[in-house]
């Protein structure tokens, strides 16, 4: 791959892994991270886009996200900051990098609640879960904004709705970690404390999509090569329950612990999985890293991990 890629959010979880992935393969990339400033401020985005080399692809990975119960308390803040980030990126894309294809990342949280796998046609087809109202609305705006900018200005885009991602060096703070990373972190702590009970948040039957970070990156690149000017679900069509995930964690740790689901812990939507048939049929992509192996990789790298970007970075 010889084309230049701008990586927006290069200090965040997914951005750092993309920088590593491109560097390992000798692919040209231009990382844009926290040193560029807060992307909810227009002047920072303009400067970053003007100073960047002309690119063929822009990976837009920047977001201000919170998880768990705290989301209920700050929906307006999440909407305001993310809406400004995404609008600034869209406008500077058309002004300063119009030759580049904007590949942005979305989430299943932007889809309505459903008891069935969600195809792309369900997007904006109902109410999102109340815990993510502000954040989800901003993600919807990014998807629709990409489509409308492409239509009006003759640009190219791809908006990808991803699985829940986990892997080494992810956020572990309770208000920032997604369920799998938080689960692995708690398991390591409780095993180190000599406990024989593993505390798992949520409910055993809660269903989610889950991918190891390298698998998700390769899925993104496969989608980019095959699709253009659309919203696309980008995952494996292999949802897992919280219970399955928890058992994979204790298996990977060789820990003989009982599972405990404390009442009242944050659960979110009970069932949320994306129908990725369109992506899988066209690309033939398949994940390489199973749950137990993925957890083992996270644990193996735990001692050498360095902190991910701070809150000010607004990145994954």
Question: Which pLDDT score, from 0 to 100, does residue 316 have?
Answer: 43
The answer, yes or no, to whether residue 105 has pLDDT greater than 90, is: yes
Mean pLDDT of the chain: 90
Decide: helix, strand or coil at residue 313: helix
pLDDT at 307: 46
For tokens 């690149």, what's the residue?
221
- Mean pLDDT for 38-59 is 98
Give Cα separations from 277 to 20, 118, 156, 273, 280 (angstroms): 29, 10, 23, 12, 5
Cα 105 to chain centroid distance, Å, stands at 7
pLDDT at 79: 93
Report the DSSP beta bridge partners of residue 207: 241, 271
Locate 119 and state its tokens. Answer: 């195809």
Looking at domain 5-167+210-237+274-288, its CATH class is alpha beta
Determine contact, residues 202/266, Cβ cutoff 8 Å.
yes
Decide if pLDDT at 73 tops 90: no
Tell me what pLDDT residue 311 has: 41
pLDDT of residue 67: 63
Q: What is the pLDDT of residue 249?
A: 94
* Integer angstrom CA distances of residue 184 from 163, 166, 200, 306: 17, 10, 10, 17
Residue spans of beta strands (DSSP E) within the chain: 5-8, 29-32, 57-60, 101-107, 156-162, 164-166, 197-199, 207-208, 210-212, 231-234, 240-241, 258-260
Average pLDDT of the residues in 124-133: 89
Residue 306 predicted with pLDDT over 70? no
Domain boundaries, the chain: 5-167+210-237+274-288
Would you state the pLDDT for residue 313?
Answer: 38
Long-range contacts of 64-72 (CB under 8 A, 24+ apart): 64/40, 64/314, 65/135, 65/176, 65/316, 66/135, 66/175, 66/176, 67/175, 67/176, 67/177, 67/178, 67/182, 68/174, 68/175, 68/201, 68/266, 69/266, 70/175, 71/131, 71/132, 71/135, 72/130, 72/131
pLDDT score, position 156:
98
Q: How many CB atoms lie within 10 A of CB 73?
A: 10
What is the rounded distance in angstroms from the CA atom of residue 258 to the CA atom of residue 256? Answer: 7
> Is 74's pLDDT higher than 90?
no
Distance CA 92, CA 87 (A): 9
Q: Which two tokens stand for residue 269?
A: 């939507």
> Which residues does 295 contact at the CB level (< 8 Å), separation at least 6?
184, 248, 249, 251, 252, 253
The DSSP secondary-structure symbol of 125 reads S
Q: CA separation (Å) from 292 to 138, 183, 191, 251? A: 34, 13, 17, 7
When pLDDT is cut at 50, 70 and 90, the band that residue 129 belongs to is confident
């Amino acid at each position: 791959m010889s084309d230049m890629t701008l990586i927006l959010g290069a200090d965040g979880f997914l951005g750092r892994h993309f920088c590593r992935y491109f560097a390992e393969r000798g692919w040209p990339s231009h990382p844009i991270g926290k040193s560029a400033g807060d992307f909810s401020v227009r002047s920072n985005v303009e400067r970053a886009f003007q100073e960047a080399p002309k690119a063929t692809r822009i990976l837009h990975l920047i977001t201000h996200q919170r998880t768990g119960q705290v989301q209920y308390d700050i929906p307006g803040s999440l909407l305001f900051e993310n809406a400004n980030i995404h609008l600034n990126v869209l406008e500077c894309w058309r002004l300063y990098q119009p030759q580049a294809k904007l590949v942005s990342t979305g989430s299943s949280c932007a889809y309505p609640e459903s008891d069935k796998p969600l195809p792309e046609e369900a997007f904006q087809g109902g109410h999102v879960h109340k815990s993510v109202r502000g954040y989800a609305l901003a993600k919807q705006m990014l998807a629709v904004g990409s489509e409308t900018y492409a239509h009006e200005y003759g640009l190219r885009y791809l908006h990808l709705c991803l699985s829940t991602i986990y892997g080494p060096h992810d956020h572990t703070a309770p208000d920032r970690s997604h369920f799998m990373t938080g689960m692995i972190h708690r398991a390591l702590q409780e095993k180190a404390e000599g406990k024989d009970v593993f505390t798992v948040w949520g409910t055993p039957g809660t269903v989610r999509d889950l991918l190891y970070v390298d698998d998700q990156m390769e899925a993104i690149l496969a989608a980019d090569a095959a699709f253009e000017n659309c919203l696309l679900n980008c995952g494996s069509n292999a949802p897992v329950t919280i219970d399955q995930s928890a058992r994979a964690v204790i298996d990977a740790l060789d820990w003989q612990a009982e599972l405990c689901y404390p009442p009242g812990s944050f659960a979110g939507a009970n069932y949320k999985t994306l129908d990725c048939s369109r992506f899988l049929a066209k690309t033939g992509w398949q994940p390489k890293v199973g749950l137990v192996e993925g957890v083992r990789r996270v644990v193996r790298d735990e001692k050498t991990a360095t902190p991910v970007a701070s809150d000010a970075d607004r990145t994954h």
